[in-house]
């Protein structure tokens, strides 16, 4: 049995479906099902008897939360394999490595997935696009190789089910860097209507982001969005290495998610 934490989220939703379609027995865990990662004692019923756990960490774990107690529950439940949804920012020194350390020091089989910026972050634009055909974003011409969360889920499904990935760290990106201006153009193209783009200053963006992210994480995220390193702009070969196909472009995510923007 495989447990998927964050089962109702951008990656978890698709991962549950992919594993189920592959014939696996899957337990989806999130607060909605009574499994709260910030209260590890609530995880035991979901983890009991699982072979593998896909671990996602919500914002409450940033910047310096502790996964040790969650890993202890997994170990005590007989779990053999952990796959952590980490972040590219750990590899580039933007975020602390403590969550990964809890997993790599667990004594269990582990694999780390380090995705860059998610295509689904642009759901934050959905209300503005739907209501007024407008988007406000900072750093509108800075391009990053955003990753489709369905590609992360497909990589996770392979790593959870198949041997040969123990001890591996995969950096997951899309197939090409795209800027917010390029993303807005892709949305406009799919809608068949113009979408106006307004550039926010860093201060304006910070004021919006601190409503749903801890302050230190807002700063490191703004650093990545505004001044990415060469490594953060690089297209990683790892999605293709694991899936045997190129990662999906942002326009694919838009085509599948357009209902939220119409």
Ligand X SMILES: NC(=O)c1ccc[n+]([C@@H]2O[C@H](COP(=O)([O-])OP(=O)(O)OC[C@H]3O[C@@H](n4cnc5c(N)ncnc54)[C@H](OP(=O)(O)O)[C@@H]3O)[C@@H](O)[C@H]2O)c1
Q: Does 223 bind ligand X (CB under 6 A)?
A: no
Residue 179 interacting with ligand X (CB under 6 A): no
Cross-strand partners of 225: none
Provide the minimum distance between the beta carbon of 90 and ligand X in the complex, in angstroms, as a whole number: 9
Q: Which stretch binds ligand X (CB under 6 A): 114-122, 137-145, 182-190, 203-211?
A: 114-122
Q: Which of 14, 92, 106, 117 is in the footprint of ligand X by CB under 6 A?
A: 117
Please give the size of the binding site for ligand X, defined by CB under 6 A.
26
Identify which of 189, 208, 70 has the alpha carbon closest to the alpha carbon of residue 133: 189
The residue among 228, 201, 215, 207 whose CA lies nearest residue 137 is 201
Q: Residue 32 interacts with ligand X (CB under 6 A)?
A: yes
Q: Does 38 bind ligand X (CB under 6 A)?
A: yes
Give the CB-nearest residue to ligand X.
9
CA distance linking residue 204 with residue 25, whole number of Å: 46
Looking at residue 55, the DSSP 8-state letter turns out to be E
- CB of 143: closest distance to ligand X in angstroms? 15
For 221, the enclosing helix (H) or strand (E) is helix 215-226
Residue 34: strand, helix, or coil:
coil
Looking at beta carbons only, is 60 or 255 nearer to ligand X?
60
Complex with ligand X: residue 32 or 132, whichever CB lies closer:
32
Q: Does 37 bind ligand X (CB under 6 A)?
A: yes
Cα 26 to Cα 29, 35, 40, 132: the distances in Å are: 10, 15, 19, 41
Binding characters for ligand X, 82-101, by CB under 6 A (x = yes): ---x-x--------------
* Pick from 72, 179, 73: nearest CA to 117: 179
- State the minimum distance, in angstroms, from the CB of residue 107 to ligand X: 23
Q: Tally the C-alpha atoms within 13 A of residue 28's C-alpha that lie toward its C-beta.
A: 16
CA atoms of 227 and 36, how far apart (whole Å):
34
CA distance 63 to 75: 24
- Is 40 near ligand X (CB under 6 A)? no
Interface with ligand X by CB under 6 A: which residues? Answer: 5-10, 12, 30-32, 35-38, 56-60, 85, 87, 115, 117-118, 120-121
């Amino acid at each position: 049995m495989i447990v998927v934490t964050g089962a109702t989220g951008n990656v978890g939703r698709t991962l549950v479906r992919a594993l189920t379609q592959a014939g696996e027995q899957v337990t989806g865990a999130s607060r909605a099902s009574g499994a709260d990662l910030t209260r590890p004692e609530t995880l035991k019923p979901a983890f009991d008897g699982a072979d593998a756990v896909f671990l996602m960490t919500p914002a409450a774990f940033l910047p310096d939360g502790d996964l040790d107690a969650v890993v202890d529950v997994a170990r005590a439940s007989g779990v053999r394999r952990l796959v952590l949804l980490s972040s590219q920012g750990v590899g580039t020194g933007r975020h602390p490595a403590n969550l990964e350390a809890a997993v790599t020091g667990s004594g269990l089989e582990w694999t780390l997935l380090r995705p860059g910026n998610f295509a689904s972050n642009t759901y934050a634009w959905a209300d503005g696009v739907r209501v007024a055909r407008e988007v406000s974003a900072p750093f509108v011409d800075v391009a990053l190789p955003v990753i489709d969360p369905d590609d992360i889920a497909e990589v996770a499904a392979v790593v959870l089910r198949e041997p040969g990935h123990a001890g591996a760290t995969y950096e997951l990106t899309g197939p090409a860097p795209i800027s917010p201006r390029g993303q807005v153009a892709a949305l406009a193209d799919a809608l068949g209507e113009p979408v106006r783009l307004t550039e926010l200053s860093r201060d304006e963006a910070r004021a919006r982001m601190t409503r749903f992210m801890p302050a230190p994480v807002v700063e490191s995220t703004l650093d990545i969005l505004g001044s990415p390193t060469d490594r953060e702009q690089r297209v990683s070969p790892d999605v293709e290495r694991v899936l045997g196909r190129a990662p999906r472009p942002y326009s694919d995510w838009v085509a599948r998610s357009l209902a939220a923007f119409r």
